[in-house]
Structure 1
Amino acid sequence: MDQGNTAFILLAAALVLLMTPGLAFFYGGLVKAKSVISMMMMSFGAMGLIGVLWALYGYAIAFPATDAGVTQAPWAIDFNELGLTGVLETPEGAAYPPLAFVAFQATFAIITVALVSGAIADRAKFGSWMVFAFLWSTIVYFPVASWVFNFGLAEDGSFSYGGWITKGMQDVFGVGAIDFAGGTAVHINAGAAALALALVLGKRVGFQKGAHAPHNPPFVLLGAGLLWFGWFGFNAGSELAADGTAALAFVNTIIAPAAALLSWLLVEKIKDGKPTSVGAASGAVAGLVAITPACAALDPIWAIVLGLLAGAVCALAIELKFKLGFDDSLDVVGVHLVGGLLGTLYLGIFARGTGLIESGSFNQLLVQAIAAFSVLIYSFVLAYVIGFAIEKTIGFRVKNEDEIAGIDTVVHGEEGYVLTDAR
């Protein structure tokens, strides 16, 4: 067992787990002051619920054991891994304990579910959100993780690709889809579900451009900083080894969001006359999203270009909700769905070795598109069905009067800011 790589994976897992509290600050600063507890609790609720589900059966669905070189069925469960009982021992010759990989992937599941909550800020019941998180993670995230990542545990203790999006399409087209750290499984997946829930819950009271200003931009900047810090574990950690590929992913995770931050601010300056702190934070996140699938497959110069594109495209994409009439409260669609699509499809042209520029073949672009839109459609349809069923049974949205007053005291009995002492 390689203790260095084991330590690397465990450290990366800790960094990715920190991203969810970072997301709570990022989202919390963007909502109304009287909804900040509700918003942050949806992220913390995801940490509790998905952490438990992952150990009980999530890992067994996402990473069923498979022989090397064999494509796993799109929907499968390894009953030997329920409760993690089948991965407690480290096989002889394994590079690291299976439980290190279990921990790393658990943090991916948590942050993916938490991302969805930004689309329904200011108006969702916490209990209904938890029911949605339970059902969506079980029916959507765990299987999709298997399609994309699915490092099946072979008899020698090594992990080998077996998902249909990677190994399966490689068998058909000669190349599998590239998604190094979760452009499809995390960002497109969460963005599509966010769009579905925004449609199910409808618009906030008084929804219009400029009506819902962020109440705490310093929280937004803090959250973005924590996300960026944790994202090094997200991207470089996905190599599962401290090597040159991890170093490339690390460098690209610095420069792509840096470029996106600048291009987002430039778009703001041209469009609105002023660059904003929230724009800087959002631009960095957009760049992080776009580089996620591509971080180990791009030369740094192309990572910078991707970042510049992501910042500009996502800055414009967040305006779509006003033109199309859906209320994605915190721009999960404009940043995560659009950014995830951009980064995933970009690889079809610029990926090292297999992209159109180097190979002269459209096959990589084709498999990237199949992967991206398969996950998008699957997640959107099932999220809409789950959200609609919850809304029509136990109710998903709070009453309008509670939304106007702020839902922290109604849902949680707390206030984010207690400015006077009534004792």
Structure 2
Amino acid sequence: MSPQRYELWIGLRYTAGRRRNRLVSFISLASMLGIAIGVATLIAVLSVVNGFERELKSRVLAMSAHASIYAFEGHLQNWRQLADQTRSNGDVVAVAPFVSGEVLVRAGNENLGVPAFQGVLPEEETQVTDIAKYIVDGRFDGLVAGGYGIVIGHELAKKLKVGIGDKIGLLTLQTKPNGDFLPRLRQFAVVAIFNAGLYEVDMKAAYIHLADAQALFGAGEGVTGLHLKLSDPLRAPSIAMQVASSLQGLFYVDDWTRSHDNFFRAIASTKSVMFIIFSLIVAVAAFNIVSTLVMVVHDKQAAIAILRTLGSTPRSIMLIFMVQGTLIGAIGTLAGAAGGIALSLSLESLASAFQAISGHQLMSAEVYDLGELPSDLAAWDVIRISLMSLLLGLGSTLYPAWRASKMQPAEALRYE
């Protein structure tokens, strides 16, 4: 054994322990299990949060325009010309006009507000969003000018207890020239129902034809704004500003990163909080390494004294016990990482099996916006969690190893 490696060999030997000292071995095993459970749990939890973010982002992008341009005041009357100018930008894939406003829907005894109410041109809107792909009953192109048809989400249809062909009353408020409000009630027939798998959308979104919306809101030939589909959704803020600045006039620009900012801020906050909370589990388990090494140092006083007498330096003694503590942390981290990866990859199937056996719905669509438990394992999460666990394990060895290195041979052998 080379002199440079004897610290490693002795540290590994101490980690195995002796049969007579079962308490030290048990505490070492408990530390490994605690670290493994903490690491696995943290990886699985962050995978679920990543899954939420992935699902929300994909469905938001499928059901929403990447960016929108609004008139600074009133309605866009020259929207056809603006749409042609907007399409000339190489980053704009498609453009669709829309009219939006506040509406109260009535069916039977139910009265509900629909904040995401829009009038659209079906043939153009389907080029900007994927709404037509989520139609589960009827047809989106069933919206025709003057037909007074409406497309609603399945959650809203369920709440109103309506189906294809049923009538829904739409109540709007129009502003008169003198500033008074004039309520208007119009009956619309349900021509299609969509299911985006996102409760917030399925409950609070509805579409009618653009011409019907213009008549309903008194917009004349104008529109509220233009929906844009972009070549790169991740660059939506900069592209939208670039497009708006190229147009003549004052416009208000919005994009999906701002209109759905609350969703993604909540997810980011949840992810940070979860990381901190479950890191504490790993920290508590790593603290057990301190107890283990303190007991080992006490048990190995005579061996430490002999090693010092034979010429071992305090640095070598410190390395011996650091090897032992680091090995405990490394084994726990590797076991936890393997378990966390396996759990994350099979989480969706495990959740489905649990729901089928127990009959209990883990994910309520009304609470979580999703009907199933998503999971998205990120390599960076596994790496940073593993590094954090290894550093905590290494840090837990410093104090006991330092105490061992300061032990004097004469004091250690006095009572031997």
**TM-score, with structure 2 as normaliser:** 0.21
Larger RCO (CA within 8 A; separation ≥ 6): 2
Larger radius of gyration: 2
The structure with the greater share of residues assigned to strand is 2
The structure with the greater share of residues assigned to helix is 1
